[in-house]
A and B are shown apart, each in its own frame.
Chain A
């Protein structure tokens, strides 16, 4: 009875936007996507400016220009590290799904 009454309720806006949002797999994928997107947006910019100010200039005493160049190179390397972790996570998700399918 409870299930029939809940199904007659008009779907919320979230349900109309994502019809299978309650699906466990889709939900974890979207959560993963949000977390990784935030990381890949913040890591390069934060590392570039923080490394320049607090590591190269304050700690090692480089000139402003050299510090900017070195921190830029490190930021680009860090972006590729995050991208590699992203790729690992994406392929691992696929493997886990395959294993669950085999168990079924």
Chain B
């Protein structure tokens, strides 16, 4: 007796993987965003004691970390809209694709959030001493943010194909 692949692919638990994808997209990006916010806030608070008028510039790492969280929100919303019950034609292939999409966005966002936190901490402290460092800090922050954007693009492609 051969293994019936057609029936096995139409498993009742297929939506589990889709929902796990949506959850992990949000959970891991928020982990990264929270670390980025907290770590750069340490730098902002220690430089804000001396130069409170620079607050507008020094909050930029926090905004960048917040955008990582928005990536996760967007991907989780898109994935959640695609997951249906197994009886409505949601098979294991779709479930795995959505799990892969969620993990891609989530873990890329986690890495980008870590990078933003460390860059923000060092960059904000440095900008307080030498204002010309600001452009460099912004460039490094944009490059770390783009790492999360790559993850979101791949997740949207994986999730909609």
Contact = CB atoms under 8 A, between A and B. Distances in A.
Contacts of B57: 90, 93-94
Contact of A26 (B52, B82, B131): B52
Interface residues of B, number: 27
B82 A65 contact: yes
A73 interface: yes
A73 B63 contact: no
Contacts, number: 70
A20 B142 CA distance: 32
Nearest to A66: B160
Contacts of A48: 74, 77
B53 A26 contact: yes
Label chain B's interface by main secondary structure: helix
Interface in A27-77: 29-30, 32-33, 36-37, 40, 44, 48, 64-65, 68-69, 72-73, 75-76
Interface string B50-63: 00111111011001
Contact of A33 (B56, B70, B131): B56
A68 B77 contact: yes
Interface residues of A, number: 33
Contact of A68 (B59, B81, B134): B81
Interface of B: 52-57, 59-60, 63-64, 66-67, 70-71, 74-75, 77-78, 81-82, 131, 134, 138, 149, 152, 156, 160
